[in-house]
Amino acid sequence: MALKSSYMKEIYETVCRRNQGEPEFLQAVREVLESLEPVVEKRPDIQKAGIVERMVEPERFLQFRVAWVDDNGSVQVNRGFRVQFNSAIGPYKGGLRLHPSVNASIIKFLGFEQCFKNSLTGLPMGGGKGGSDFDPKGKSDGEIMRFCQSFMTELCRHIGPDTDVPAGDIGVGAREIGYLYGQYKKIRNEHTGVLTGKGLTYGGSLVRKEATGYGLLYFTQEMLQKMKQDSVKGKKIVISGSGNVAIYAAEKAQQLGGIVIAMSDSSGYVHDEAGIRLDVVKQIKEVRRGRISEYAKEVAGATYTEGCKGIWSLKCDIALPCATQNELDGEAAKQLVANRVIAVAEGANMPSTPEAVECFLQEGVLFGPAKAANAGGVATSGLEMSQNSMRYSWSFEEVDQKLQQIMAGIFHSAYDASAEFGAEGNLVLGANAAGFLKIAETMLAYGLTF
């Protein structure tokens, strides 16, 4: 798709000029601007108040030094980030990513998308994101702890339960959240809901661990039912990644009667036509922190292939990219379409390239964009914040039921907005428009405060 209006073109040109060398951020902004053209056309008040111009510029961008000592006694230096993108509808909210690829562009694309996603959940959360280029792979527990403590020593000045509430993302799971929260509590002398994804003994919520993956399947089920009168039951499913999102997407897919035939990590993928044994994957990934290749050595009939991209050449009915950004390109999308894929829903953030998205939309494949389809994680983080404020805990069933309602609500908001703005069934446009409008109305109500 191309930008049509001179108004949006001008905004995009300014964003390009201000954010040179940040391709992921520009990609995320461009997609949103394309979707918002019909919205802004109908709403001159939004244009007059400069809402779009304000939303593409983060409220605050923090970058800091993170120094720590490795097991050999050597000083190591990493770069820490936190972008506080938009706080119109609630405290900044978004995860922390630890991966060597992390830079300003990645953090800003994630923070920008987070604003719309959080808005879509219907909960009062603004958008933010953070992380570091620290590589957790191969590090000892002690090294991870010392890094997390150093990172939080700076970050704790900028966050708080009513200001900014980080969570996990790639490379940040229960262990890292524990170290980060322990350091925050030590420095601030406060026991508050400043992070989500916490352990159950110190304020965590049931279902948070499972939430993004489960939510992805609740969304996919709703999309199949509403748009094709079909369901996950009996469908062959390919899931990329084998981290937090992928594992719990696979678990819910199996509970709904789907057959997960492949999973991957950044080295390669395993194919098991009999259906992936999740107990084996959990043992390898969650307990041993091993490689997915070990699966093929342990399960008869399964094969391992080096390299990630080939996973999209497997014949399947549903594809769920759950690893990382731009992992599914135009060529992979064409292969999926040739193999008659019915639905694609994004568990990872921006896993499909613009060419892939275009291909799915043109070929009539049901497509659930990340902002809508993977919002279950942050929605349950929102529920964790509510429980922390009440100093109370809901049961697994209570949280799970709320999650299901929220995911169905997100699907319907995106679908209804797609119809309202003349592109019924285009959930990319629908999710962007619905997420945007709630923030825009709020910013209009505030006047020009920021």
Catalytic residues: 129
* CA–CA gap between residue 6 and residue 13 (Å, rounded): 10
- Residues 398, 221: Cα–Cα separation, whole Å: 20
170 binds ligand NDP (CB under 6 A): yes
d(C-alpha 262, C-alpha 4), whole Å: 40
In the complex, least distance from residue 43 CB atom to ligand NDP, rounded to whole angstroms: 29
Scan for tokens 């809508």, then name that residue: 372
Stretch that binds ligand NDP, among 175-183, 316-324, 352-360, 403-411 (CB under 6 A): 316-324
Beta strands in 159-288 (DSSP E): 164-167, 236-240, 259-264, 268-271
Tokens representing residue 106 in the block = 């990645």
Q: How far is the CB of 379 from ligand NDP (least distance, A)?
A: 10
Per CB under 6 A, does 324 bind ligand NDP? Answer: yes
Q: Interface with ligand NDP includes 435 (CB under 6 A)?
A: no
Q: Is 348 in the site for ligand NDP (CB under 6 A)?
A: yes
Does 374 sit near ligand NDP (CB under 6 A)?
yes
Q: Which of 58, 130, 368, 377 binds ligand NDP (CB under 6 A)?
A: 377
Binding residues for ligand NDP restricted to 199-258, rule: CB under 6 A: 212, 241-246
- Residue 370 CB, shortest distance to ligand NDP, in Å, is 7
Q: Distance (Å, rounded) from C-alpha 408 to C-alpha 277? A: 28
Asked if 296 is part of the footprint of ligand NDP (rule: CB under 6 A), the reply reads no
Judged by CB under 6 A, does residue 293 bind ligand NDP?
A: no
**Side chain identity at residue 123, one-letter code:** L
The minimum distance between CB 284 and ligand NDP, in angstroms, equals: 10
Q: Annotate 341-410 with DSSP letters as a single string.
A: --EEE-SSSS-B-HHHHHHHHHTT-EEE-HHHHTTHHHHHHHHHHHHHHHT----HHHHHHHHHHHHHHH
Q: Is 121 in the site for ligand NDP (CB under 6 A)?
A: no
Q: What letter does residue 101 receive in the DSSP assignment?
A: T
Asked whether position 152 contacts ligand NDP by CB under 6 A, the answer is no
Distance from C-alpha of 219 to C-alpha of 225, rounded to nearest angstrom: 10
Q: For residues 139 and 369, give the distance between their C-alpha atoms in angstroms, rounded to a whole number.
A: 33
Q: Which of 169, 176, 210, 251 binds ligand NDP (CB under 6 A)?
A: 169
> Which residue's Cβ has the minimum distance to ligand NDP?
243
Considering the rule CB under 6 A, would residue 349 count as an interface residue with ligand NDP? yes
Question: What is the spatial distance between Cα 317 and Cα 94, in angstroms, rounded to a whole number?
Answer: 31
Nearest-CA neighbor of 380 among 219, 204, 223? Answer: 204
Q: How many residues touch ligand NDP (CB under 6 A)?
A: 24
The residue from 111, 130, 168, 268 that contacts ligand NDP (CB under 6 A) is: 168
**Helix, coil or strand: residue 82:** strand
Q: How far is the CB of 75 from ligand NDP (least distance, A)?
A: 26
Closest distance between ligand NDP and the C-beta of residue 378, in Å?
A: 6
Q: Which residues bind ligand NDP (CB under 6 A)?
A: 168-171, 212, 241-246, 265-267, 308, 322-324, 327, 347-349, 374, 377
